[in-house]
Structure 1
Amino acid sequence: MTIQEFKSACSTIEQEYKAKIGQAADLAAVEELRVAALGRKGALTELLKGLKDFSIEEKKEAGPLGNALKAALTAAFDEKTEFFAAKEINDELNKVNLDLTLPGYPVAKGHRHPLSVAQDRMTDILSRLGFEWAEGPWVEDEKHNFDLLNIPLHHPARDAQDTFFVDGKMPLVLRTHTSNVQSRYMEKHKPPLRIMAPGRVFRNDSLDATHSPVFHQIEGLYVDKHVSLADLKSDLTAFMKGLFGNKAEIRFRPSFFPFTEPSVEVDVKCVFCQGKGCNVCKGNGWIEMLGAGVVHPNVLRNCGIDPEVYSGYAFGMGVERLAMMMLNIKDIRTFYENDLRVLKQF
Structure 2
Amino acid sequence: MILEKIDQLLKEVGNLQANNAEEIEQLRLKYLSKKGEITALMADFRNVAADQKKAVGMKINELKQLAMQKINELKEQNEVAEESADDFDLTRSAYPIQLGTRHPLNIVKNQIIDIFQRMGFTLAEGPEIDDDLHVFTKLNFAADHPARDMQDTFFIEQSPNDVTKNILLRSHTSNDQSRIMEHQQPPIRVICPGRVYRNEAISARAHCFFHQLEGLYVDKNVSFPDLNPVLLPFAR
TM-score range, shorter chain: 0.5 to 0.7
Secondary structure of the residue aligned to 1:216 is strand
Normalising by structure 2, we get a TM-score of 0.56
CA distance, structure 2, for counterparts of residue 107 and residue 182 of structure 1:
40
1:202 partnered with 2:197 = yes
**Of Structure 1 and Structure 2, which has the larger fraction of its residues in strand?**
1
| Deviation string, structure 1 residues 250-299 (Cα, Å, up to 9, x no partner) | xxxxxxxxxxxxxxxxxxxxxxxxxxxxxxxxxxxxxxxxxxxxxxxxxx
SS class of match (1:239): helix
Q: Greater Rg, structure 1 or structure 2? A: 2
- How far does residue 205 in structure 1 lie from its aligned partner after superposition? 1.0
Alignment of 1:183-222 (within 5 A): 183-222=178-217
More helix by share: 2
C-alpha separation between the residues in 1 aligned to 2:144 and 2:136? 11
How many Å separate the matches in 1 of 2:228 and 2:143?
31
Cα distance in 1 for partners of 2:219, 2:185 equals: 9
Aligned to 1:142: 132
Q: Given the alignment, which residue of 100, 105, 111 partners 2:101?
A: 111
Partner residue, 1:179: 174
Rounded to whole Å, the distance in 2 between the matches of 1:233 and 1:161 is: 35
- Note the 1:33-52 alignment, pairs <5 A: none
The number of residues matched between the two structures is: 148
Report how far residue 236 of structure 1 moved: 1.1
Query: Residue type matched to 1:223 in 2?
Result: V
Percent of pairs identical after alignment?
47
Aligned match of 1:155 in 145, 151, 154? 145
Amino acid aligned to 2:177: Q
Letter in 2 for 1:121: Q
Q: 1:120 aligns with which of 93, 102, 110?
A: 110
The TM-score with structure 1 as length reference comes to: 0.39
Q: C-alpha distance in 1, partners of 2:140/2:174? A: 11
The SS at the match of 1:204 is: coil
**1:210, 1:119 → 2: CA distance?**
20
**1:158, distance to aligned residue in structure 2 (A):** 1.1
Alpha-carbon distance in structure 1 between the residues aligned to 2:132 and 2:97? 48
Taking structure 1 as reference, are residues 168 and 152 closer, same or farther at Cα in structure 2, changes over 3 Å only?
closer
Amino acid at match of 2:224: L
1:281-320 alignment runs, 5 A limit: none
RMSD across aligned positions (CA): 3.1
Which residue of 114, 119, 131 corresponds with 1:129? 119
Which of 233, 236, 259 is matched with 2:231 structurally?
236
Instruction: Return closer, same or farther for 1:189/1:107 CA change in 2, 3 Å cut-off.
Output: closer
Structure 1 residue runs of 5 or longer lacking an equivalent are: 1-23, 28-80, 90-104, 242-346
Alpha-carbon separation, structure 2, partners of 1:138 and 1:210: 23
Per-residue deviation, 1:110:
1.6
